[in-house]
Structures are given as structure tokens and as C-alpha cells.
Amino acid sequence: MERRIPVWSKNSFNPEKPGTKIVPAITESSGARAVASMKNVALVSLEPASPEVNPVQLMARALDAIARADVEVLIVSSSSYRQNFCFLVRSEELQRTVQALESVLALELAHGYVNPIRVDNSVGMLAAVGEGMQGKPGLAGRIFTAISRVMVNIIAIAQGSSELTIAIVVSRGGLEKAVQAVHAECGMGLAPPDNS
């Protein structure tokens, strides 16, 4: 990058295709360029049961406990209305996640200050990935509409400030349809078959 030498990443199975040019910065907002998906995930939800529980402190303690258990949080989503939040973890890290939460929140769970931890194992995640997606007005709405058009319900969403990813949690049974719908809506052509 410092010497401005062009670098191309190519598909070794299909080298005649143009591939991806690696550059220091993108000058224009191109929107979603790819869709990634994960099936082996679980959605963990926490909700205060009492107004005495500060939801921000609850989230901080929960995320700290999960970090100490060496669990990677894939997405975090929260609701200001009910003061609840959820996060997505890999299925193989679910048991460690729940144990860490039950340990750090034992007192609140035992006395009913926090509702029982909810786990949904029947979800999948898809992520629309691209440079400058916040610079594309209506892109998130188009993606959500495309998913609803194929009768798949969106369970949770998250978009960071980096403008690179919109992550969406849906039922695992509807994941492939949702991926295909986003591919079509964003003009990416037909999605490759999911081999995960």
C-alpha cells in the first residue's frame, strides 16, 4: 500500500475472473457487495425484571463475563423500549456463555431481578458486507423488505459505525431464502450454494 503497488486477490479455481483489487481506500459508496451467512449460532437474550436493575450495567456485566469466558460475541442488539438486549454466539460456545452469565448474575436471577436467560438455538445470521453502506440511502430498508418478501421474519439486527456490515438474525429454516433475497435485491446475482 505504501508503494502503491496494485494487489489482486483471485479465485484459483476460476483465474480468468477479475477478482478483487486491494486498495488503500474506496472513494465511492458502493453498497453491499457480498452476503455471508452462519448457521451454527445461538441467540442469547437478557432482560431486567425489575426497575431497580440498570440495564446498561447489566449489559456491561454480562459482556464482561462472556469476554472472560473467552467467547466471541458476533452481534449485539438492544431494545430501549423493554430495556432488554440479545447477542449472538457460536453454538459451540453457548454452554460457556450461559455458565458465565449464570455465574455473574446468580443473585439477580435467584431473586427475580433479571428474567431467566433465554436461548434460541434455531437461528442463523446473514451479513450484508460492503464499503460505505451508510452512504446508500434506503439500503437497509431494501434489504429488510427483500427478506420479508420471501416470508422470513427478522429477529434481530445490528449495524456498526464502520459502515461495512449489516448483520441480521433470522430463523435458521429461512436463512438460505433470506441470503438469496439479499443477493437479488443488491444486484449480486445468484448466491452460491451454502456448504457450511
Q: Is residue 13 part of a domain?
A: no
Q: What is the pLDDT of residue 79?
A: 79
Of 121, 148, 173, which residue constitutes the final position of a domain? Answer: 121
- 180 and 109, same domain (yes or no): no
Structural domain harbouring 158: 30-38+122-185
Q: Residue 37 burial (CB < 10 Å; 0-12/13-18/19+)?
A: buried
Q: What is the DSSP string of 113-158?
A: SBPPPEEEEEEEEEEEE-TTGGGSTTHHHHHHHHHHHTT--EEEEE
Whether residues 114 and 134 fall in one domain: no
* One domain for residues 115 and 47: yes
Contact 98, 119 (CB under 8 A): yes
Please compute, for residue 58, the number of CA atoms within 13 A of its CA located in the half-sphere on the CB side.
26
On whether residue 49 sits in a domain, the answer given is yes
Distance CA 112, CA 95 (A): 22
The answer to whether residues 134 and 160 belong to one domain is yes
Rounded Cα distance, 120 and 51, in Å: 25
Alpha helices in 47-93 (DSSP H): 55-68
Provide the pLDDT for residue 191. 47
Q: Which CATH number characterizes residue 48's domain?
A: 3.30.2130.10
Q: How far apart, in Å, are the Cα atoms of 194 and each of 53, 79, 83, 179, 180?
A: 42, 31, 35, 10, 10
* Residue 192 lies inside a defined structural domain of this protein: no
- Looking at the structure, tell me whether residues 45 and 113 fall in a common domain: yes
Is 56 found in the same domain as 153?
Answer: no
Domain boundary among 66, 94, 121: 121
- Do 117 and 132 have their domain in common? no
User: Is residue 71 in some structural domain?
Assistant: yes
Position 104 scores a pLDDT of 96
Hey, which bits of 74-153 come out as E strands? 75-79, 84-90, 118-129
Instruction: Determine the pLDDT at residue 94.
Output: 97
Task: Determine the pLDDT at residue 137.
Answer: 59
State the pLDDT at residue 196.
Answer: 46
10-residue mean pLDDT profile of the chain (196 residues): values are: 78 78 62 81 94 89 95 88 85 97 95 95 89 63 89 87 79 93 75 48
Helix (H, G, I), strand (E, B) or coil at 47: coil
For residues 34 and 68, state if they share a domain.
no
Domain count, the chain: 2
